[in-house]
Amino acid sequence: MTYQSFEDLEVWQRGCRLSVQIFKSFQRCKEFTLRDQIQRAALSVPSNIAEGSERGSLKDFAHFLNISK
């Protein structure tokens, strides 16, 4: 499988869609600490995929993919 950018990866696209759903679902949550933690956790998945793909080595990319799961 080849790709030009991390944005082409289905796993990154799904992670972004999930993040949007979570942000919308917790928008009215009054537990601000819980809301913040869940939203940051959801955003970390596509963020780690993006960061790993920009590192330049397959070893680093694999490491960041492992972190994102």
pLDDT tens digits for range 11-49? 999 999 999 999 999 999 999 999 999 999 999 999 999
Is 41 part of any domain?
A: yes
When pLDDT is cut at 50, 70 and 90, the band that residue 4 belongs to is: confident
Among 66, 19, 14, 56, smallest CA distance to 38 is for 19
Average pLDDT over residues 1-14: 87
DSSP assignment of 40-68 equals HHHHHHHHHHHHHHHSSSHHHHHHHHHHH
Is 2 part of any domain?
A: no
Could you tell me the residue range of the domain that residue 40 belongs to?
8-68
Is 3 part of any domain?
A: no
Structurally, how many domains does the chain consist of? Answer: 1
When pLDDT is cut at 50, 70 and 90, the band that residue 56 belongs to is: confident
Residues 6+ apart with CB under 8 A from 46: 12, 15, 16, 19, 68
